[in-house]
A and B are shown apart, each in its own frame.
Chain A
Amino acid sequence: MKNGVLGEETLTISMMVNGESVVRDVPVNRTLLSVLREDLGLIGAREGCGVGECGACTVIMNGKTVNACMVLAPKADGATITTIEGLSDGEHLHPLQEAFIEEGAVQCGFCTPGMILSAKALLDENPSPTRLEIREGISGNLCRCTGYQQIVDAIELVVNRTEEAKA
């Protein structure tokens, strides 16, 4: 504490984002979402509602999906973060991305990055979910276009393909 002042206005945060180490000075009142989009140019995570309701800003933080609009940037210090940009290797699409395209689960595409990350987190934890479990797994991601059917189909396609590959 200096002269009765508590805390900092700007902090240096280091994170592992999509496998790369990143260090940035950020004002403490920013969100992880704004740092990803504005400072790191990772615009896959979208800002829909800004209040935790739509899931368009979903990223995986330390293995778990979170709404990046709800995470104050300093909270991401030391965290490992995966955004949609980290899923494909630049040449090949991730199996979920392929299946989403095949099943027509991408229409306007606004919800897609968050949706795919929720699906990835679900499958990482439970590789053979039921349709109901898939619905629950993506219940924090709103889609205005598809009515969810195609999205659930796409995730199920990945489940079936993974099982076939194993058999």
Chain B
Amino acid sequence: MSIPHFRYIAPQTLEEAIGLLRMAKESGKRARVLAGGTDLMVQLRAHEITPDVVIDISGIKRLSRVDRMGNEIQIGPLVTHASLATLDLIREYAGVLSEAARTVGSPQIRNLGTLGGNIVNASPAADTIPALVILDARLALRGPEGERILPITDFFKGPYQTVIEKDELLTGVIIPLPSLNGRAVFLKLARRKAVAIARMNLACMLYYDRQKEIFEWVRLCVGSSTPKPVRMTQAEKVLVGNAYTDDVLQEAGRAAAEQMVALSGFRSSTAYKKPVVGDLVIRAVHLAVEKG
């Protein structure tokens, strides 16, 4: 299908971009931010969106940076999945994000698609989101009134719904450096086109103390199974302080499945997803413990 008619502008600075968003908002124009375009182009072609103006932010250089600042790393929203997968700084301090980015789409999509686009598009199946949730990421949003920073879990209202204002840009993703030396795993169920529901992913980070034979700490987040991304706290509680045994793993799997059902209600996909969530949790914990 053809692409709808719109105007295009490519600001070179953040201030300019925010000024344009504000002007569009004040004059009642529908503006759309364009980063890599891998979600936006599909939506344009399907005429799901018909903006008056497309504001291409990809020329704003400072939004492509990755910096280490004290005990945090700051990732610009324009950093591509291909870069997340290969950059040393990310692999070392946010390995689970690297692993998640590596599974996105195809090499071509990873070369175009950005971290910021993945977050703001807010698809329940977005692969970087569960990784960012367990990394305790915070998002920096910038609008005409200045900057606000919020935990990633406060950013989403529901599938494809976020708290970002029409005149705000996502300007940075802040990840605290892990104080504990954990092991991380990202798992994704292969996408079967015929069964779109079969898309699920999971990010897991944990530290298992082999001397004391207990899980010291565990963080789990399962994507596209709950209305908003959340940690699987029930399963985490089952594991922490306990030993790595079959019984404990099974119990954690059950706890995750129950939390998922409680959060999402009984939707048609829930029946299918319930046992799958449990299995994913068990597999991820197993793989993370085996990592060392």
Contacts and interface: CB of A to CB of B under 8 A. Distances in A.
Nearest to B110: A140
B24 A6 contact: yes
B258 to A, nearest CB: 36
A31 interface: yes
Interface stretch (B53-61, B155-163, B229-237, B244-252): B53-61
A52 B109 CA distance: 7
Interface string B6-24: 1111100000000010011
A71 B107 contact: no
Interface in A52-96: 52, 55, 58, 64-67, 69-72, 74-75
Contacts of B34: 72
A140 B53 CA distance: 30
B93 to A, nearest CB: 24
Given A121-B107, A137-B107, A29 B9 contact: no
A1 interface: yes
B106 interface: yes
Contact of A139 (B29, B38, B54, B106): B106
A30 B248 CA distance: 56
Interface residues of A, number: 35
A19 interface: no
A72 B41 contact: yes
Interface string B139-159: 000000000000000000000
A74 B37 CA distance: 12
B78 to A, nearest CB: 12
Nearest to B7: A7
Contacts of B3: 29-31
Contacts, number: 105
B8 A140 contact: no
A29 B4 contact: yes
Interface residues of B, number: 37
Given A6-B23, A51-B42, A29 B58 contact: no
A75 B56 contact: yes
Given A70-B41, A74-B56, A118 B8 contact: no
A67 B53 contact: no
A75 B1 CA distance: 20
A4 B27 contact: yes
A16 interface: no
A115 to B, nearest CB: 12
A43 interface: no
B264 interface: no
Given A64-B111, A66-B111, A29 B56 contact: no
Contacts of A4: 27, 29
Interface of A: 1, 4-9, 11, 28-31, 50-52, 55, 58, 64-67, 69-72, 74-75, 118, 121-122, 136-137, 139-141
Interface of B: 1, 3-10, 20, 23-24, 27, 29, 31, 34, 36-38, 41-42, 44-45, 52-56, 58, 82, 105-109, 111-112
25 contacts: A4-B27, A6-B7, A6-B20, A6-B27, A7-B54, A7-B55, A8-B8, A9-B8, A28-B7, A28-B54, A29-B5, A29-B8, A31-B3, A51-B41, A51-B42, A52-B108, A58-B108, A65-B111, A70-B42, A70-B112, A74-B8, A74-B56, A75-B37, A136-B107, A140-B105
